[in-house]
Amino acid sequence: MEGSNPEKVIAVLRSDPSRWLCDDCIAHLAGIKNRIAVNPIATTLGLTSDFDRQRSECSRCRETKFVTRPRRH
């Protein structure tokens, strides 16, 4: 996948808006090797009106963590 890390994170999240994803799964799906880099990106997105972020079950790994998904408009 091309682009900066924030672009990759947004592309992964928007690829399935019904899915909550934790930072680890976002990193995996986006092909970002440094998973720690995803945390501030996802946290920042969660503060915007375009994304929701909360502590709940990840739709992919089923662990309860902070998860992010696009907000429906």
Query: d(Cα 69, Cα 72) in Å, to the nearest integer?
Result: 9
Query: d(Cα 48, Cα 15) in Å, to the nearest integer?
Result: 18
Binding to Zn ion by residue 61, rule CB under 5 A?
yes
Residue pair 35/58 in contact by the 8 Å Cβ criterion = no
Closest CA to 69 of 5, 3, 36, 25: 25
Closest CB to Zn ion among 62 and 73?
62
Q: Choose, by CB under 5 A, the member of 27, 41, 58, 69 that binds Zn ion.
A: 58
Closest CB to Zn ion among 22 and 30?
22
Closest CB to Zn ion among 6 and 66?
66
Binding to Zn ion by residue 26, rule CB under 5 A?
no
Q: Point out which residues bind Zn ion (CB under 5 A).
A: 22, 25, 58, 60-61
